[in-house]
Amino acid sequence: RLKPFNRLQVILQHLKMSKHTDSTAEVLLEKRGGAGIITLNRPKALNALTLPMIRQIYPQIKTWEQDPETFLIIIKGTGGKAFCAGGDIRAITDAGKVGDRLTQDFFREEYTLNNAIGTCKKPYVALIDGITMGGGVGLSVHGHFRVATEKTLFAMPETAIGLFPDVGGGYFLPRLSGKIGFYLALTGFRLKGRDVLKAGIATHFVASEKLPDLENDLIALKSPSTENIADLLNSYHVKSKVDEGKQFVLDEHMEKINSLFSGNSMEEIVRKLKQDGSPFAIKQLETISKMSPTSLKLALRQLREGASMSLQDVLTMEYRLSQACMRGHDFYEGVRAVLIDKDQSPRWKPAALEEVTDEFVDGCFKPLGNNDLKL
Closest CA to 186 of 353, 344, 39, 18: 353
- Asked whether 88 and 42 are in contact (CB, 8 A), the reply is no
| C-alpha dist (Å) from residue 320 to 86, 106, 148, 365, 366 | 20, 13, 31, 6, 7
> For residues 373 and 375, what is the distance between their CA atoms, to the nearest angstrom?
6
Task: Find the mean pLDDT for residues 342-362.
Answer: 97
Would the pLDDT of 21 be above 70?
no
Region of residue 31 (phi > 0: left; psi between -120 and 50: alpha; otherwise: beta): beta
- Asked whether 295 and 353 are in contact (CB, 8 A), the reply is no
pLDDT at 18: 47
Task: Find the mean pLDDT for residues 99-118.
Answer: 97
Q: What is the DSSP letter of 208?
A: G
The set of long-range contacts for 16-23, using a CB threshold of 8 Å and a minimum separation of 24, is none
pLDDT at 12: 58
pLDDT at 360: 98
Averaged pLDDT of the chain: 95
> For residues 83 and 39, what is the distance between their CA atoms, to the nearest angstrom?
9
Other beta carbons within 10 angstroms of residue 345's beta carbon come to 11
Would the pLDDT of 9 be above 70?
no
Q: From the candidates 129, 166, 318, 330, give the one annotated as an active-site residue.
A: 166
For the ranges 13-17, 41-45, 193-197, 232-236, which has the lowest average pLDDT? 13-17
Model confidence band, residue 7 (pLDDT cutoffs 50, 70, 90): low
| Residue at 179: amino acid letter | K
pLDDT tens-digit readout, 180-224: 999 999 999 999 999 999 999 999 999 999 999 999 999 999 999
Q: From the candidates 88, 110, 129, 158, give the one annotated as an active-site residue.
A: 158
| Residue at 147: amino acid letter | V
36 is catalytic: no
> For residues 327 and 350, what is the distance between their CA atoms, to the nearest angstrom?
14
166 is catalytic: yes
Closest CA to 130 of 27, 67, 58, 208: 208
343 is catalytic: no
Residue 373 has phi, psi (to 5 degrees) of: -75, 130
Would the pLDDT of 162 be above 90?
yes
**For the chain, percent of residues with pLDDT exceeding 70:** 94
Torsion sign over Cα 143, 149, 151, 156: positive
The full set of domain ranges for the chain reads 24-371
pLDDT tens-digit readout, 256-301: 999 999 999 999 999 999 999 999 999 999 999 999 999 999 999 9
pLDDT at 1: 54
Q: Where are the alpha helices (DSSP H) in the chain?
A: 4-21, 51-66, 89-97, 102-118, 135-138, 169-172, 180-187, 194-198, 211-220, 226-239, 254-260, 266-276, 279-290, 293-306, 311-327, 330-335, 358-364
pLDDT tens-digit readout, 217-234: 999 999 999 999 999 999
Would the pLDDT of 4 be above 60?
no
Q: Which residue has the higher pLDDT, 362 or 241?
A: 362
Q: Which fold has domain 24-371?
A: 2-enoyl-CoA Hydratase; Chain A, domain 1 (3.90.226)
313 is catalytic: no
pLDDT at 298: 98
Q: From the candidates 134, 135, 188, 328, give the one annotated as an active-site residue.
A: 135
Q: From the candidates 87, 134, 136, 328, give the one annotated as an active-site residue.
A: 87
Omega before residue 350 within 30° of 0, cis: yes
pLDDT at 24: 84
> For residues 237 and 239, what is the distance between their CA atoms, to the nearest angstrom?
5
Q: Are strands 131-133 and 72-77 parallel, antiparallel or unpaired?
A: unpaired
pLDDT at 19: 47
